[in-house]
A and B are shown apart, each in its own frame.
Chain A
Amino acid sequence: MRSTSRPLRSHPTRFPTGSVGTPSAGCSSADAGTAVIYLGTGISAGASTFLESTLSYVSGQSRFQRYVASRDWRLLFTGSIVLGAAVYAVTIQGGAWTTDVHPWRLLVGGIFVGVGTRVGKGCTSGHGVCGVGSASKTSIVGVVTFLLVAIVTAQLVAAAGVTP
């Protein structure tokens, strides 16, 4: 039921800010982004659907057609993510930062990420943030699965002497 005079709402972004240092302050900020979109639209905005929705611009594969209706705003969303991170780079980071992780790890890992997030119905934001936030059992199982496998994989790669 909607009322015309709503009381001031406590905003979820203020929740854990500052209590456990920089990462959590950044995280509550990242999730505030998801929360803003959810409050306005009811949409759970995850990041990995962008891969398929953007492919629908250039590919006629039937699998991608289900994302035609959302591909424009997903492109806008991803562009804004890039821009938001660029604001951080300019204001706080003080210039560009580049990774030393080997390109082959990024490329091969990226292929696995592209397959796995789409087959597994979500990524760190879809399952990890929106899904777990929804207390979805599917998402909790998904997160536990990819987190455990990622830990084992990263440990094995490190044990094999690959750095970074």
Chain B
Amino acid sequence: MAGSASQRHPLFAPLVILGGLIFGFGLAYSHMARPEVVLDFLQFEDFGLVFVMFGGAAVTGVTYFLAPRLLGRAVLSGDDFERRLKPFDRNVLVGGAIFGVGWGLSGICPGAAYASVGIGNVTILWAIAGMFIGAYAQGVFRSRSPSDEAAPTSAD
């Protein structure tokens, strides 16, 4: 697993902070942290987020493509660059559909919800509370059937 706790570079934490700051600022700036804007997008009344999503994938696509070729290994950790690949199974469809219902109902997704707190949207704490309840519920359920998924996921 990338970046194991025992041997982290001293700049690991500052880098995570920097990445988070940029991420949060971008989500606020793009208005994805506002549920109304996301709901307008899903109702085809505002297509700005099309550019957010596809532009975003393009940015990371370039990064994921160029980083291994130009840098070889991660600058701080020395870990290999790996694409984010997850095994496909029924859970991707079932979970994706459940997430879609939640996203379409609330207009908020996890990263945008955290950013929404930052722009002063205290009401969004309802959504974050819901996310923790949901994540806990599925965790309890899946803890009882550990055969569900063997390999730990490095990131989502």
Contact = CB atoms under 8 A, between A and B. Distances in A.
Interface of A: 1-2, 6, 9-10, 12-13, 15-16, 20-52, 54-55, 59, 61-64, 66-67, 69-70, 72-73, 76-89, 92-93, 95-101, 103-139, 141-143, 145-158, 164
A84 B109 contact: no
24 contacts: A6-B70, A12-B59, A16-B51, A31-B59, A32-B22, A35-B59, A40-B11, A41-B76, A49-B155, A77-B20, A80-B18, A85-B27, A87-B25, A99-B36, A105-B106, A106-B106, A106-B127, A112-B98, A114-B135, A128-B56, A133-B63, A138-B92, A142-B92, A155-B43
A53 B133 CA distance: 13
Interface size class of B (residues with CB under 8 A): 35 or more
B26 A146 contact: no
Contacts of A100: 36
A96 B57 CA distance: 29
Interface of B: 1-5, 9, 11-13, 15-36, 39, 42-44, 48-49, 51-53, 55-64, 66-67, 70-77, 79-88, 91-124, 126-140, 142-143, 146, 152-156
B139 A55 contact: yes
A22 to B, nearest CB: 7
In this complex, the member of A1, A46, A61, A101 whose beta carbon has the largest number of chain B beta carbons within 10 angstroms is A101
Given A38-B67, A128-B56, A131-B84, A153 B101 contact: yes
A110 B98 CA distance: 11
Contacts of A44: 82, 84, 154-155
